[in-house]
Amino acid sequence: MSNATHPFDLLQLLVNQCRQQAIGLPAQEVVSETWSGVGFRLAGQPMVAAMGEVSEILHEPRYTALPRVKSWVRGVANVRGRLLPIVDLSRFFGASVSAPRKQRRVLVLDRDELFVGLLVDEVLGMQHFPVSSFTSDAPDVPAAFRPYVVGAYRRDPVSLVFNFRALARDQAFLDVAI
């Protein structure tokens, strides 16, 4: 009789050798909670808005100018059959537009009774911040932005958290007629 090893025993031996030589998976030491938002630049200032506040991001569409409206109202654009008012947010805050047209984007707000496109200098994409880096007293906030900024995330550079709901409730923003 031969001393032949059964194939199952060989497999068992192979499994044991693999387990002895295997390197463990890397463990994540610290789990930190993050906050995500849409990053954008407004009048040269990096800002971020909650993901739920922005329903869409568009290239600057062709629009039709409207008579007897404030200078920061650019006009209305036809976006998939809906008339979208286009507001230049930099001009609303009294800043000059310095970004080239190719960089500018429209953040569409479609919430409650408000459907409006806000023209910003540039969209920086989805931003993720550790919740621990949030501060409610944002440093060096320009006076025009203060009523709409709810805090900041400390990163280089500091990103101000812009509250579009506060803007939508502001009577100065809603009153567009001259």
**DSSP code of residue 177:** B
Whole-angstrom distance, CA of residue 152 vs CA of residue 165: 17
Residue 57, both tokens: 């991001």
Where b means 16+ CB within 10 Å and e means fewer, 150-172 reads eebbeeeebbbbbbbbebbeeee
Fold of 34-174: OB fold (Dihydrolipoamide Acetyltransferase, E2P) (2.40.50)
- Per-residue pLDDT of the chain (178 residues), as tens digits, is 567 788 999 999 999 998 888 887 777 677 789 999 999 999 889 999 999 999 999 999 999 999 999 999 999 999 999 999 999 999 999 988 777 889 999 999 998 888 999 999 999 999 999 999 999 987 788 889 999 999 999 888 889 999 999 999 999 999 999 8
Contact between 32 and 120 under an 8 Å Cβ cutoff? The reply is no
Residue ranges per domain, the chain?
34-174
Long-range Cβ pairs for the range 62-71 (8 Å, 24+): 68/177, 68/178, 69/176, 69/177, 69/178, 70/176, 70/177, 70/178
> What pTM was computed for the model?
0.79
